[in-house]
Structure 1
Amino acid sequence: MYFEPGQTVLRRCWRGGRITFLQATRVIEDGERGLLLWLPAGATYWRIMTGDGRTHHDGTLDELGPDAVLRPLVWSGNDLLMWQRSGEPWSVWWFFRQGRFLSWYGNLEEPFVRWRDGDVRGVDFADNALDVLVDPDLSWRWKDERELVAKTGHLHYWDEAQAAAIRADGARLAAVAQSGAFPFDGTWCDFRPDPAWPVPRRTAGWDRPRAVRADPSGTMAS
């Protein structure tokens, strides 16, 4: 099941049986190179957050407590392209500001699963905390190392061996970046959205159950 350009896709991050992060995005392309999504600055997104402003970056779901619920926020500052390919433990983001490419962001995560429920479409995944920041000169650095360590061994997260595997995934992605290979070869750095595109919006059905992988392509039967 491939998505069509222009469609809205809900990008849903799960942990402990709950959606912890949700973005409504626009499909740019979906094919042999992978799935490419667009999220403009000014779009509404949703994040697990407590009433006093703590997010899933500040603790485990248990530590945040029952006050942590999905709350709407405005995506500000940078426009995003987000690319991911079936079976890979990361997505790569392009940051743009006023049409100028700034940098890449490697988000380490479990391989995604596509889903479709009538006219509602999405991808489901679980975030793995650790990230890889890549500058235009292909230098890189870690982000959120402390969060990876802090959540190691907690219910619904990862154990020591899994944390080591997540770090190894990040090192592999960093090596791709340093080599200047796709997707760090300049592809899409000159991307410009159609100014007539409406801002993607969350659709009814966004809270359907999490998709379960049906085959190695990352597709779930509808």
Structure 2
Amino acid sequence: MPDGRGMGEVPLPEWSASDRVPARHTIDHGVLSWHPRGRDYSIRWFFRPDGDFFRWYANLEAPPPFDGTWRDFRPDPSWAALPRELPHGWDRVET
């Protein structure tokens, strides 16, 4: 963002309509990221350190319509309580 905020610090409607400025970010691969102004998507092209293209990613987002009517939502008291512990295997790595 022109004011120095990162993408995660800006509401989507504001982010979608804002100007884009180059920003330095360190990663272990090359990436070209395109964020068209006024659109709620971005496309990223990833490159290996030798410059070879190896994948792309499209991020599709639609601003959620929010009319303020759900601010006082409370779950039904008859619903089961959330478990206190995470289930076994929640952090497993798929290979």
Normalising by the residue count of structure 1, what TM-score does the alignment of the two structures yield?
0.19
Normalized per residue, the structure richer in strand is: 1
Normalising by the residue count of structure 2, what TM-score does the alignment of the two structures yield?
0.39
Return the index of the structure with the highest Cα Rg: 2
Normalized per residue, the structure richer in helix is: 1
Q: Tell me: higher relative CO, structure 1 or 2? Use CA pairs within 8 A at least 6 residues apart.
A: 1
